[in-house]
Structure 1
């Protein structure tokens, strides 16, 4: 489901300014800037894909929780675990992972060339430049769904944040990631005891059931309270050791 970006009536800041708009193989992606807030230099940047608000730089708590919860759920004593972050977004998850010395290999998968450019040479570099320069980090310009299904590499944790949730996908193709086939592919990419963490803008008991049906153990959710509406959620599941 795709919904248009909506501003609330009590928003008093100026209307957002379009920094760049691109048409790509998956549709339109837009970077916008709005006035004083939590971003660098008092500005907040937001990413809109196909008219659907994805994320902005105003907070980042749930993106950081996505990484922290996955690390905490790994078996005790695992050293230099490898993490796959999909996708790059505004860079909070990557920056947080790179700030944690316990992570070993950090692989980031992002299919939108525009998003990669905004981090390499655009305003989002303020968040991610240090993390992208980290020798542990590898950035792959490819589709996450295809990578999970075809990659030969395995990971100790998959931290996935490419939609507004399993039931609220940005493009129809992403739905395959949350299908039985897609979850089986995620499980195959994990080492024994590895953790799948999936970000969602709303709770989904149905997705928890899908994770159990896909053979995952330890299925649970962690919630992050937000200013308006239902809490953000991180779904967690473990591949049996």
Structure 2
């Protein structure tokens, strides 16, 4: 899907805040809304195919267990949440988002148009927490983890996120999964090295699905299953 930029207008900042990990900015560029963190472009509302794939690929990799639960790591512009909530297959939807600003932009800001129905869904809950700390500390377990908090395992938004993609971080993800549960990780490009780390962390059925983009390397979703 082509980006629908108005090339005659510069991006306009709608909100700028200092969060626990630096500056986060919501801006509008033509018809698009964009999220910027510490000067690094994270995502916009132009497409959403790979975010929807993140959720669908995890669902399809699960067995036939009834009403599975999904943890979505990162609220972003809301594509993954909205897509999960539109699917009656999911029994519970938990979103972990560390930036209060992003949550506010969805609750009563410009991004609410994308997520209002999903947030009103009784299956949905939003936790304001750091995902890395959450998977390390939680006693809850899920059938699927759909993680989209960075531009990929090799391109993190903040340095502390690096540990999530290590063998020990992936072991924490495995503990937050029920037996046979699925881990899905979004990336701006495929990473064979990360596939190897998933195998080394004890996951099975490791594979990568790609989403072609107009220019450059494809987006990717890395998938792995916790042994039963």
SS of residue in 2 equivalent to 1:33: strand
**TM-score of the superposition, structure 2-length normalised?**
0.96
Correspondence for 1:146: 133
What aligned pairs does 1:69-84 form with structure 2 within 5 A after superposition?
A: 69-75=57-63, 77-84=64-71
TM superposition shift of 1:228: 1.6
Correspondence for 1:52: 40
Correspondence for 1:212: 199
CA deviations 1:54-112 (Å, max 9, x no partner) are 1000000000000000000001x211000000110000000000000000110000000
Correspondence for 2:13: 18
Q: Kindly report the root-mean-square deviation, in angstroms, between the aligned alpha carbons of the 2 structures.
A: 1.1
Q: Distance in 2 between matches of 1:19 and 1:12?
A: 18
Using a 3 Å threshold, how does the CA distance of structure 1 residues 11 and 125 change in structure 2: closer, same or farther? Answer: closer
Q: Does 1:64 align with 2:52?
A: yes
Q: Does 1:28 align with 2:16?
A: no
SS of residue in 2 equivalent to 1:132: helix
TM superposition shift of 1:11: 7.8
Query: Alignment length, in residue pairs?
Result: 224
Q: Distance in 2 between matches of 1:205 and 1:78?
A: 30
Q: Does 1:175 align with 2:162?
A: yes
Q: Distance in 2 between matches of 1:181 and 1:207?
A: 13
> What residue ranges of structure 2 are gaps of 5+ in the alignment?
none
TM superposition shift of 1:12: 2.8
Q: Distance in 2 between matches of 1:183 and 1:100?
A: 27
What aligned pairs does 1:127-142 form with structure 2 within 5 A after superposition?
A: 127-142=114-129
Q: Distance in 2 between matches of 1:222 and 1:136?
A: 27
Q: Does 1:194 align with 2:189?
A: no
Q: Distance in 1 between matches of 2:94 and 2:163?
A: 21
**TM-score of the superposition, structure 1-length normalised?**
0.91
Q: Distance in 2 between matches of 1:169 and 1:132?
A: 27
Q: Distance in 2 between matches of 1:128 and 1:89?
A: 10
Contact 2:6/2:29, CA 8 A, preserved across alignment: no
TM superposition shift of 1:152: 0.8
Q: Does 1:158 align with 2:153?
A: no
> What residue ranges of structure 1 are gaps of 5+ in the alignment?
1-9, 36-42
Correspondence for 1:38: none
Correspondence for 1:228: 215
